[in-house]
Amino acid sequence: MATTATNIPQQGVFLEKDIDTNDMVVNIGPQHPSTHGVLRLITTLDGEIVKNIEPVIGYLHRSKEKMAESRSLYQYQPTIDRVEYLSSFFDHYAFVSTVEAIAELEVPKRVQYIRMITMELNRITSHLLWFGTFLLDLGASSPMFYAFREREKILKLFEDLTGARMMYNYYRFGGVIADMPEGWLDKVRKVVDEFPDRLDEYEAIVTKNPIFLDRTIGIGIMSAEMALANGVTGPSLRASGIKLDLRKTNPYCSYDEVDFDVPVGNTGDCYDRYRVRFQEMRESLKIIRQAIDKIPGGDTAELNKRRAAGDETANEMDLQIYGKKINLITYKPPKGEGSTIVESPRGFLGCYIITDGSPKAYRIKWRGASFSNLSVLAPLMKGLLFPDLMAIFGSIDVILPEVDR
C-alpha cells in the first residue's frame, strides 16, 4: 500500500504502516449509467486505490467487418453510420474517400466543401454530447441540458440536409446524395454566429467552478509517452502536449485551404482534455465560417438563379454534386487496396479496404479511435483513486459502439 501511495498526485498523508488487507474485486457494468454504453470494468481495489483494471468489451459487437462480406459497397454504406453513431459523417468520409482513391474518382470542390462543413458540424455535436455526459459523470446535471439544446439545433440542420438526425447516409462515391437545400448555408451561418455566446455560457457555469476544478486538475495525468505507446490519438493525445492533428499534418478533403489552430494542452490531466475539446469547438466554428464563405457556387438558391438565367457553368457544378454519375446498384471499384485515416472527434479513424473487382469488398477493416483510447485506461488507472475512475474514463471520451464495431 505504501508503494502505491507515492503515485497518487495531491493526496494527503497515508498510513506508513502496511496493514494487511485483502484486495477487493468490484465489477462495474456492463449495465452502468456512467459507462456510456455497454462496458464492463473488472477493478481490483486495495482500499480506495485501483490496483488493476480490466475492461471487458464486445457486448456491442455487431460484426461490421463480417457484414461487408455479404453486401455490395452501396448496400453496406447505411450500416457504416452505426459504427460510430455520434459522428457518422467521419465514418462515411473514411469509407467513401478510400473507395474514391481506389477507383480514382474525382471529387468536385463543392462536394469537398459540403463534406468539410458537415464534418465540422458533426465534430461540434460530438464534443457537445461529450461535454454534457462528462459533467453528468462528475455530478453536474444542468450542463447536459444546455449541451443538448445546442446539439439539437445542429441536428436539425443535418435533418434538413440529409433527412436523418443521426444516421445520415449522405456521402456517395464521388459526391453526395443531393445538393444543399436552398437557404441551408444561411441557417448554418445563423447557428455558427450564435454559438460562441453559448460556449461562453458553458464556460461561465463550468470552467472555473471550484468543484469541477478539484475533480479534474491533476487527475488522470497521461504522459505523452504513455499516450503514444498505447495508441491514444485525437484530443486526448493533444492534451498531453503532442500537436498531432491529421487535418493539419496530412490534409485531406479541403482542410489545407482553411485556416485554423490546433489547441494543445500541457499536462495531460482531465482538465486539459476538457480545455482542448472546448477550444476545438471554437476552431471548428472558424473552419465552418471560412468554408461557408469559400464554397464554390455559393448557396443553392444562387446556383438555381444562375441556372435559370442559362449559365452553363452552374449546371456543370450541380451535376457533379450527385453521386448518381455511377450506377450505385452494382458499382464495382477496380481491384486494389487503400487505407485512410481521418481525424475524427475521438482520434484516428481508420478504414482499410481491399477490393477484388466485384461489387463487394474483399475485406474492410475499421480502426475505431475509441478502441485504442480505451486500452489506455488500465495503465492509466493503476494506483489512482477509485472515485476518479469515472472522471478519467469520461474525459477520454470513449464511445462503445466504435470500440466493439
Partner 1 sequence: MSNEKEKNNPQEPNEVEASLETTPSAEEKAPEEKPKKAVKAKKSEDSDEVAKAAPKKEVAAQTTEDKAAAPKEVAPKKEETPPPPEPGKYGELLQANGFSPTHLGKDAKGTEMVDIKSTELREVSEFLRDNSASKFDLLVYVAGVDWKDRLEVVYYLYSTQSFESLILKATAADEKLPSVTSVWPTADWHERETYDLFGITFEGHPNLKRILMPSDWLGFPLRKDYKVEDPRLVWNER
Partner 2 sequence: MSVLDNKVVSGVVEVGRGLATVAKHLFRPPVTLEYPEVMPDLSDRFHGRLSLLTKSGGEDLCIGCQACARVCPCGDLIQIEMHRDEQKVPVIDRFTIDLGRCIFCGNCTEVCPVDCIKMQDDFELAEYSREALVLDKYALSLSGEESDEYRVRHGLEKHVE
| Site residues, partner 1 (CB under 8 A) | 57-58, 61, 63, 65-66, 69-71, 98, 101-106, 174, 179, 181-182, 228-231, 233, 242, 244, 249-250, 300-301, 304, 307-308, 315, 318-319, 322, 324-327, 329-330, 332-341, 348, 350, 352, 354, 357-358, 362-363, 365, 367, 371-372, 375, 379, 404-405
Q: Which is nearer to partner 2, 201 or 293 (CB)?
A: 201
Q: Which is nearer to partner 2, 33 or 181 (CB)?
A: 181
Backbone angles phi, psi at 171, to 5 degrees: -80, 145
Q: State which of residues 50, 119, 124, 161 lies at the interface with partner 2 (CB under 8 A).
A: 161
Upper half-sphere CA count for residue 270 (Cβ side, 13 Å): 28
Q: Which is nearer to partner 2, 1 or 140 (CB)?
A: 140
CA distance 103 to 117: 24
**Binding partner at 208 among partner 2, partner 1, none, C-beta below 5 to 8 Å by kind:** partner 2
Asked whether 246 and 260 are in contact (CB, 8 A), the reply is no
**Residue 246: what residue type?**
L
Asked whether 30 and 50 are in contact (CB, 8 A), the reply is no
Does 169 contact partner 2 by CB under 8 A? yes
**Residue 133: what residue type?**
T
Does 166 contact partner 2 by CB under 8 A? no
Upper half-sphere CA count for residue 139 (Cβ side, 13 Å): 9
Q: State which of residues 44, 72, 304, 339 lies at the interface with partner 2 (CB under 8 A).
A: 72
Does 339 contact partner 2 by CB under 8 A? no
Cβ 178 to partner 1, closest distance in Å? 9
CA distance 370 to 235: 12
Does 201 contact partner 2 by CB under 8 A? yes
Cβ 328 to partner 1, closest distance in Å? 9
Beta bridge partners of 354: 337, 363
5 CB burial (10 A radius; 0-12, 13-18, 19+): middle
Cβ 213 to partner 2, closest distance in Å? 9
Does 206 contact partner 2 by CB under 8 A? yes
Q: Which is nearer to partner 2, 115 or 151 (CB)?
A: 151
Q: Which span sits near partner 2 by CB under 8 A: 98-106, 160-168, 241-249, 313-321? A: 160-168
CA distance 361 to 96: 13
Q: State which of residues 65, 160, 257, 356 lies at the interface with partner 2 (CB under 8 A).
A: 160
With helix as H, strand as E and coil as C, how does 308-371 read? Answer: HCCCHHHHHHHHHHEHHHCCCCCCCCCCEEEEEEEEECCEEEEEEEEECCCCEEEEEEEECHHH
77-116 binders of partner 2 (CB under 8 A): 77-79, 81
Do you know the residue count of the chain?
A: 405
Upper half-sphere CA count for residue 226 (Cβ side, 13 Å): 20
Specify whether the backbone of 37 is left (phi greater than 0), alpha (psi in -120 to 50) or beta. Answer: left
* DSSP-based three-state secondary structure for 211: helix
**Binding partner at 210 among partner 2, partner 1, none, C-beta below 5 to 8 Å by kind:** partner 2
Cβ 278 to partner 1, closest distance in Å? 23
Binding-residue pattern over the window 210 to 249 for partner 2, x denoting contact by CB under 8 A = x---------------------------------------
**Binding partner at 262 among partner 2, partner 1, none, C-beta below 5 to 8 Å by kind:** none
Q: State which of residues 75, 304, 339, 375 lies at the interface with partner 2 (CB under 8 A).
A: 75
**Binding partner at 44 among partner 1, partner 2, none, C-beta below 5 to 8 Å by kind:** none
Q: Which is nearer to partner 2, 156 or 335 (CB)?
A: 156
Does 129 contact partner 2 by CB under 8 A? no
Beta-strand runs (E) in 157-261 = 171-172, 175-176
Cβ 405 to partner 2, closest distance in Å? 16
Asked whether 370 and 398 are in contact (CB, 8 A), the reply is yes
Does 319 contact partner 2 by CB under 8 A? no
Does 304 contact partner 2 by CB under 8 A? no
The neighbour count for residue 99, using CB atoms within 10 Å, is 23
Question: CA angle 178-182-185, nearest 5°?
Answer: 95
Instruction: Tell me which residues touch partner 2 (CB under 8 A).
Output: 71-72, 74-79, 81, 142, 149, 152, 159-164, 167, 169, 177-178, 181, 201, 204-206, 208-210, 328-329
